[in-house]
Amino acid sequence: MQVTMTVNGAEVTADIEPRLLLVHFLRDHLGLTGTHWGCDTSNCGTCVVWLDGEPVKSCTVLTAMAGGHEVRTVEDLERDGELDPVQQGFIQCHGLQCGFCTPGMMMTTRALLDRNPNPSEDEIREAISGQICRCTGYSTIVRSVQWAAAHDGDREGTVPAGSTS
């Protein structure tokens, strides 16, 4: 079947098997390998991307379901050569080690901060509770999110018009 969607701001049309999972479409067909495949059962969250601005687990979304919608992946966080404060926060606060869960964690974080610019620690933990990190023990991820929240304001005006963030 043919499917058309917007991925990171660009329209994409492809012939796919109806059963193709969005995570495999992004990775294997579009080469957007920042989104990872970790568990098959929606437990680990390494595959989190945005579908119309909402974080979803792309291992349990059919590519066909994304047809006509907007998908945003980790590759779109950096804009005009400038890292998103969330990306900077993860670097500054050692919010990653092996890096495998990181793209999903950052996509959830960006969505959280867009809705709640000053989340409490409990709210941050709740927001990322559908995702697993095996390396960091989460404290540094929490601090990374807090760092991003504190620095989000620095970036106002630099986000291109039409950005979903």
Partner 1 sequence: MTVTEPTATPEFVDNDQKPVGHGRMLRKEDPRFVRGLGKYVDDIQLPGMLHLAILRSPLAHARIVSIDTSAAEAHPKVKAVVTGAALAEQNLAWMPTLSNDVQAVLATDKVRFQGQEVAFVVAEDRYSARDALELIDVEYEELEPVIDVRRALADDAPVIRDDLENKANNHCFDWETGDATATEAVFDSADVIVSEDIVYPRVHPAPMETCGCVADYERVDGKLTLWCTSQAPHAHRTVYALVAGLPEHKIRIIAPDIGGGFGNKVPIYPGYVCSIVASLVTGKPVKWMEDRTENLVSTGFARDYVMRGEIAATKDGKILAIRTNVLADHGAFNGTAAPIKYPAGFFGVFTGSYDLQAAYCKMTAVYTNKAPGGVAYACSFRITEAVYLVERIVDCLAYELDMDPAELRLRNLIKPDQFPYETRTGWVYDSGNYEPAMRKAMEMAGYDELRREQAEKRDRGELMGIGVSFFTEAVGAGPRKDMDILGLGMADGCELRVHPTGKAVVRLSVKTQGQGHETTYAQIVAEEIGIPPADIEVVHGDTDNTPFGLGTYGSRSTPVSGAAAALVARKVRDKAQIIASGMLEVSVADLEWVKGSFQVKGDPTSAVTIQDIAMRAHGAGDLPEGIEGALEAQVCYNPENLTYPFGAYICVVDVDPGTGQVKVRRFVAVDDCGTRINPMIIEGQVHGGLTDGVGMALMEIVAFDEEGNCLGGSLMDYLIPTALEVPDWETGHTVTPSPHHPIGAKGVGESATVGSPPAIVNAVVDALKPYRIRHADMPLTPSRVWDAMQGRPTPPI
Footprint of partner 1 on this chain (CB under 8 A)? 17, 19-20, 24, 27-28, 31-41, 43-44, 46, 73-75, 77-78, 83, 87, 90-94, 96-103, 106, 121, 124-126, 128-143, 147
Nearest distance from C-beta of residue 100 to partner 1, angstroms: 3
With contact defined as beta carbons under 8 Å apart, do 124 and 46 qualify?
A: no
**Pick 9 or 134: Cβ nearer partner 1:** 134
> Measured from the CB atom, is 5 or 8 closer to partner 1?
8
Residue 35 CB, nearest distance to partner 1 (Å)? 7
CB of 52 to partner 1, least distance (A): 20
Distance CA 13, CA 30 (A): 11
And the tokens for 51?
Answer: 């579908």
Which conformational region is residue 3 in: left (phi greater than 0), alpha (psi within -120 to 50 degrees), or beta?
beta
- Give the C-alpha separation, 64 to 135, whole Å: 34
CB of 101 to partner 1, least distance (A): 5
CA distances from 157 to 35, 54, 77, 154 (A): 28, 23, 15, 9
Residue (6 or 97) nearer to partner 1, CB: 97
